[in-house]
Amino acid sequence: MLSKDISALYLVLWVSSCASAEDLYMTRALKLMSETPLIDGHNDLPWQLRKQFNNELNKVDLNTLATTHTNIPKIKEGRLGAQFWSAYVPCESQYKDAVRQTLEQIDVVHRMCQKYPETFMFATSSQDIMEAFSMNKTASLIGVEGGHSIDSSLGTLRTMYQLGVRYLTLTHSCNTPWADNWLVDTGSEPSQHNGLSPFGKQLIVEMNRLGMLIDLAHVTVTVMNQVLDMSKAPVIFSHSSAYSVCPHKRNVPDDVLQRVKEKGGIVMVNFFNDYVKCSKTATLSDVADHFDYIKKVAGVGIIGFGGDYDGVTRLPEGLEDVSKVPKVVAELLRRGWTDEEVKAALGNNLLRVLREVEKVRDTLKGMSPDDVPITYDEVKNSCRTSYGYHNAGAAHSLSTLALLPTLALQALTASTAL
């Protein structure tokens, strides 16, 4: 009887010791998150506001909203320092009203910041992120998810930048008239451009000039490599994970991880079960495996957080909403990550990338905006007029010619660097 009592006592002490250790990791995690902003690359709350309330924000209270992964109490508990809110509209809107709908999504993010100024601060720069963090507010940036949202227009791209958009995901789950999407790599859709068309390459140059982050989540591996070849600035994957851990075509293969490292970019780990475990179920530990793997293959300098909350239907056990993200930080510490490595993944990596993109923009200030349009033949459809197009063949030759000097200069720069 005595021996059973002693065994029970040992069990209680062991459980207590484990709980105490976990508490220490969480305490340390929260301290690091108070010193470095957690910057998340992708949250689809704006899309939920459209789906559930048709963007009638006056009818919503984000303090009490219970039908989303994200609300203000969850943001506070999750220590969310900065968020790229997704201005997403479905591929069905392509060639129809994608631009209007995207503008409405941009508008709802602005109004969200205006309605809750004590929680959100609208942000467009690395400096803004740090200013919001110093005021204990969530810096709110905008990323447009899907190139169909600009309707193949550089003028629309520039206008969205002026409205505060700081990244464009080149495709969503459909090809655009100038880029192939990730489904091409699954074999379920044909390639239309072998990656990027000439106009797609114009777009990359213009994004560098503007200082807009190029997001390679949702594109084919061919597009990933073409952009990595071309871009003067680092690139991001706003919500993708490691292909070798879960071989889903939305994830990033090892050779691309290496190239992202060489480019100084970032891969922001997605929490969607299907990309984490290639299964309908996953755990917090499975998410941490992606962090560990990317660190092993390409170093801690390319890692970030890209939860995809409110954009996915299945989340890992222990990461059910935005409030749970500190658990990932505690798990990384438990696995032996140093404070500096954790701070890099939390926000320092993204801040570095954004500052470098801003630096490239500043070096290109003397470069004129590209105003050569995509050829009419590439975008011709029943919902589009042809105003301004006098000769489609001439426009095509102009588009190609306009790109040649830029590509030649980049090739010369690359050969000099070698």
CATH code for the domain of 144: 3.20.20.140
Q: 381 versus 17: which is more confidently predicted? A: 381
Q: 270 versus 16: which is more confidently predicted? A: 270
Q: 414 versus 279: which is more confidently predicted? A: 279
pLDDT at 332: 98
Q: 21 versus 166: which is more confidently predicted? A: 166
Instruction: Choose, from 69, 148, 218, 290, the residue flagged as catalytic.
Output: 218
pLDDT mean across residues, the chain:
92
* Mean pLDDT calculated for residue range 374-390: 94
Instruction: Choose, from 69, 148, 239, 248, the residue flagged as catalytic.
Output: 239
Asked whether residue 406 is domain-assigned, the answer is: no
Is 239 catalytic? The answer is yes
Is 308 catalytic? The answer is yes
- Would you place residue 21 in the very low, low, confident or very high pLDDT band (cuts 50, 70, 90)? confident
Asked whether residue 173 is domain-assigned, the answer is: yes
HEC string of the chain?
CHHHHHHHHHHHHHHHHHHHHHHHHHHHHHHHHHHCCEEEEEECHHHHHHHHHCCCHHHCCCCCCCCCCCCHHHHHHCCEEEEEEEEECCHHHCCCCHHHHHHHHHHHHHHHHHHCCCCEEECCCHHHHHHHHHCCCEEEEEEEECHHHHCCCHHHHHHHHHCCEEEEECCCCCCECCECECHHHHCCCCCCCCCECHHHHHHHHHHHHHCCEEECCCECHHHHHHHHHHCCCCCEECCCCECCCCCCCCCECHHHHHHHHHHCCEEEECCCHHHHCCCCCCEHHHHHHHHHHHHHHHCHHHEEECCCECCCCCCCECCCCHHHCHHHHHHHHHCCCCHHHHHHHHHHHHHHHHHHHHHHHHHCCCCCCCCCCCCHHHHCCCCCCCCCCCCHHHHHHHHHHHHHHHHHHHHHHHHHHC
Instruction: Choose, from 308, 310, 341, 370, the residue flagged as catalytic.
Output: 308
Is 180 catalytic? The answer is no
**What is the tens place of the pLDDT at every residue in 278-311?**
999 999 999 999 999 999 999 999 999 999 999 9
- Would you place residue 15 in the very low, low, confident or very high pLDDT band (cuts 50, 70, 90)? very low
Asked whether residue 251 is domain-assigned, the answer is: yes
Total domains in the chain come to 1
Is 148 catalytic? The answer is no
Q: Is the pLDDT of residue 14 over 90?
A: no
Q: Is the pLDDT of residue 84 over 70?
A: yes
Asked whether residue 28 is domain-assigned, the answer is: yes
* Mean pLDDT calculated for residue range 330-356: 98
Asked whether residue 395 is domain-assigned, the answer is: no
Is 248 catalytic? The answer is no
pLDDT at 404: 60
- What pTM was estimated for this model as a whole? 0.90
**What is the tens place of the pLDDT at every residue in 116-166?**
999 999 999 999 999 999 999 999 999 999 999 999 999 999 999 999 999
Asked whether residue 2 is domain-assigned, the answer is: no
pLDDT at 57: 98
Is 118 catalytic? The answer is no
Instruction: Choose, from 128, 145, 185, 378, the residue flagged as catalytic.
Output: 145
pLDDT at 193: 97
Asked whether residue 4 is domain-assigned, the answer is: no
- Would you place residue 397 in the very low, low, confident or very high pLDDT band (cuts 50, 70, 90)? very low
**What is the tens place of the pLDDT at every residue in 185-223?**
999 999 999 999 999 999 999 999 999 999 999 999 999
Is 189 catalytic? The answer is no
Domain range holding 352? Answer: 21-371
Instruction: Choose, from 42, 193, 248, 290, the residue flagged as catalytic.
Output: 42
Instruction: Choose, from 40, 128, 151, 172, the residue flagged as catalytic.
Output: 172
